Amino acid sequence: MPWEVIVVHVPTQQSVKKYVDDSLIGVGGDMTSVFIKATSQAEGDLHLSDGGTWNVSKAHINQIRVITSSTDWDLYVLQNDNGFAADDANIPMLQVMGNGNGSLALEDDFDYEDEDATGEVHLYYLDNSGANTADIYIKGTELV
């Protein structure tokens, strides 16, 4: 039985980088960082955007940071403007914190799609300990 010789070439660093950029980020390899800074948010349905730093319908969320003096709070990520009570989005709500105590940085790693295309991140913040407000910061990368 004859043996077949297969020659394998090791890819260059540049070709690997181009493949990853084109495959994971989109044509051209562009990455656009987006963020929201929303201060003094009362509990309830929140629809956060900023025309300058966040006005996208699809993003990969890396971090949600909540600054609050509350000793017992919950946070949910929603997909549309209809709010927590309706929870009628195609993708159900996602609880990212339950019984949070004080300020926390939630290191998240999920894709987010604003189903109503308003360019907002829809959240539900619940303060179980009283009437504390929260400053909410969201960092992510726009998905194309």
Asked if the model's pLDDT at residue 118 lies above 80, the reply is yes
Residues 118-134, mean pLDDT to the nearest whole number? 96
Give me the architecture of the 31-142 domain, per CATH: Sandwich (2.60)
108-112 mean pLDDT: 94
**CA 31 to mean position of chain CA atoms:** 15
Residue 24 DSSP symbol = I
What percent of the residues of the chain are helix, what percent strand, and what percent coil, each to the nearest 5?
15, 45, 40
Band (pLDDT 50/70/90 cuts) for residue 144 is confident
pLDDT value for 49:
92
- Interval 4-51: pLDDT, tens: 666 656 667 666 666 555 555 444 456 899 999 999 999 999 999 988
Structure tokens at 6: 């297969």
For the chain, domain boundaries: 31-142
